[in-house]
Amino acid sequence: MRAIADSQQQPADHPLAGREMSGAEMIVQIIADEGIDVVFGYSGGAILPTYDAVFRFNKDNPGSDGNGALPLIVPANEQGAGFMAAGYSRATGKVGTVMVTSGPGATNMVTPVRDSAADSVPMVLICGQVPSAAIGTDAFQEAPITAVMGSVAKHVFLVTDPTRLEATIRTAYEIARTGRPGPVVVDVPKDVQNWSGTFHGTSRLEIPGYRKRLQRVTDSVLDDADCQSFLQLLSESDRPLIYAGGGVVNGNASAAMRRFAERFGIPVTTTLMGIGASDTTEALSLHMLGMHGMAYANYAVEDCDFLIAAAARFDDRVAGVPQRFAPNARHIAHFDIDPSEIDKVKSVSWHHTGVLDRDLDAIVEYADRVNFAKSFETWHDEVAALKRNHALDYDRESALIQPNAVIEAINAITEGEAIISTGVGQHQMWAAQYFDFREPRLWLTSGSMGTMGFGVPAAVGAQFGRPDKLVIDIDGDASIRMNLGELETVTTYGLPVKIVVLNNFGDGMVRQWQKLYYKGRLSASDKSLHRKDFVRAAKADGFEYAVRLDDKAKLEQTIAEFVGFEGPAFLEVIIDPDASVYPMVGPGQSYSEMITGDFIASRGSDDDKDVSQTESF
């Protein structure tokens, strides 16, 4: 990720410098100055002064469409607002911005804040708070937000001195976007919003420790000796493999990583969060590795002799048993912006903490300068064989609709160009496996937290951020229920978002684990929530196109109509309730013990797999 002196510093001659403003007006002006073009949030008593300031700002700045330069998008629930901001941020690279009221408004944001912190997504959350004099009195809709958010956000501010409000808001954006990105929470009492003072236009807080840490990363550049030592390891390798994490996307380093991989001819596999860093249609792309990664990607990890981790953290869904991960790798190199990630899970031979795109380009430049050359054609042939022999597959003869077939049909139309958001569960993994992604920031999913209900609001945020793109949410019947109210948000704002519900009448991923590890005891996963008529619900929320697909013979025709519909579209697909996600690396198992199911070729017999209950979901 990129760690630099904040690139959004305001000019010293801000045109409004010296003007008298309320605290609320300062908040809104800074949001506009930061280049934010949409705000998500839900109103309430403690945030009303700032909401009123947004209204007045938009009246004075009508925008090109006449609807205001800073639209304020209202969801059904504050959690929806948080995931909309996250979807906006993930799709655009900008800082998602949310404004909510105090108490329950703020506490409803805990999950999106933690979700964004876990996936390194930049966000600024501005919470209204009860008046300063009432803090600590259990006032109406008071909650201790600094305590609640302190352990889940990148940073939290409580503004008690109104003269520091302007500097605090501007610094919040700086912290959110720089270094390892993340969510910053600013708790603003109502009296601070109503206070009036002089707007300076440039002020920031003194945060010397944070800025010094950023500067150390910025100053940490690869010299010729570093590049030479890396190339020495590469020259000793016959089967190098790049393992790219979400930091490649978040750090806007995908182009540099692709140049690096192409220059040396190194195959690339990505984590769930790194999808899109590599063009999945390329011959040397191995798509996703890990618990539900491609069989061929996981086998390549088993075979590689030099693993190059780029902004990846060796998390448990990838390196479940660290000592057995990449067992044949004589060397591991690790690039990251966060020094705490180095050697945290897996010891490495070579590492560098710095700015990823700059570091990868430096190695390429040095290799060109010294005429470095090494052929990996034999390894390329092995990779091609892995992709051919262990390709994804499923029961194509079943009379029931297979979820894999649904995604294949959509992918045949979108060709890796659409923005895909998901909920969490089996549908998430099928989407990750079967969709192509030609660019970064086309894949939006809750990775580390695995938050059900993420899909629809994230799609809303992405569509506001990228109105030029086709946005499709792939969801499950259980996951979409978590934020079903946001269907109305889609139609209220006339967004052409496409929503697919793969309905298997229950928590499919939980059931898969219960069948494998709990002797088929379906505790609460075959629950009684089967009465929802999703098509009627979508129609009630204003979807003109709302269709149920339960006939396999009509799959391709229905998918084409659904994707081609000009406005918001909703499609429920009744899928095989027993369809499972494979491959699967079970708990406590290595990639060599991967379960590939009945339709994906394995290197060994599935009868040899130990699927004993070793740990929980």
Q: Choosing from 99, 509, 584, 594, which is the catalytic residue?
A: 509
Q: Choosing from 141, 344, 505, 552, which is the catalytic residue?
A: 141
Confirm whether 514 is a catalytic residue: no
Report how far residue 189's alpha carbon sits from residue 144's, in angstroms, rounded to the nearest whole number: 12
Largest Cα–Cα separation, the chain: 76
Report how far residue 463's alpha carbon sits from residue 440's, in angstroms, rounded to the nearest whole number: 16
**Residue 26: strand, helix, or coil:** helix
Tokens 């590469």 label which residue?
Answer: 234
Q: How many CA atoms lie within 13 A of 367 on its CB side?
A: 23
**8 A C-beta contact, residue 459 and residue 505:** no
**8 A C-beta contact, residue 83 and residue 452:** no
Q: Helices in 397-496 by DSSP H: which ranges? A: 403-414, 426-434, 455-465, 477-481, 486-492
Confirm whether 140 is a catalytic residue: yes
Instruction: Give me the phi and psi of 403, to 5 degrees please.
Output: -60, -35
- DSSP sequence for 436-464: --SSTT-EE---SS--TT-HHHHHHHHHH
Q: b/e map of 12-23 (b: 16 or more CB within 10 Å)?
A: eeeeeeeeebbb
- Burial (CB count <10 Å: 0-12, 13-18, 19+), residue 378: exposed
Instruction: Give me the phi and psi of 238, to 5 degrees please.
Output: -115, -20
Q: Choosing from 29, 83, 149, 190, which is the catalytic residue?
A: 190
- Burial (CB count <10 Å: 0-12, 13-18, 19+), residue 438: middle
Tokens 């999808």 label which residue?
Answer: 275
Asked if omega into 577 is within 30° of 0 (cis), the reply is no
Cα angle vertex 183, ends 104, 100, to 5°? 30
Provide, for the chain, the percentages of residues in helix, strand and coil under a 3-state DSSP scheme, each rounded to the nearest 5.
40, 15, 45
Confirm whether 509 is a catalytic residue: yes
Report how far residue 512's alpha carbon sits from residue 30's, in angstroms, rounded to the nearest whole number: 48
Q: Choosing from 9, 140, 415, 554, which is the catalytic residue?
A: 140
Confirm whether 589 is a catalytic residue: no
Confirm whether 515 is a catalytic residue: no
Question: Residue 333 forms beta bridges with which residues?
Answer: 308, 350
**Residue 360: strand, helix, or coil:** helix
Q: Choosing from 25, 34, 78, 166, which is the catalytic residue?
A: 78
Please give the C-alpha separations between residue 521 and each of 20, 512, 514, in angstroms, as whole numbers: 66, 11, 6
Active site residues: 78, 140-141, 190, 509
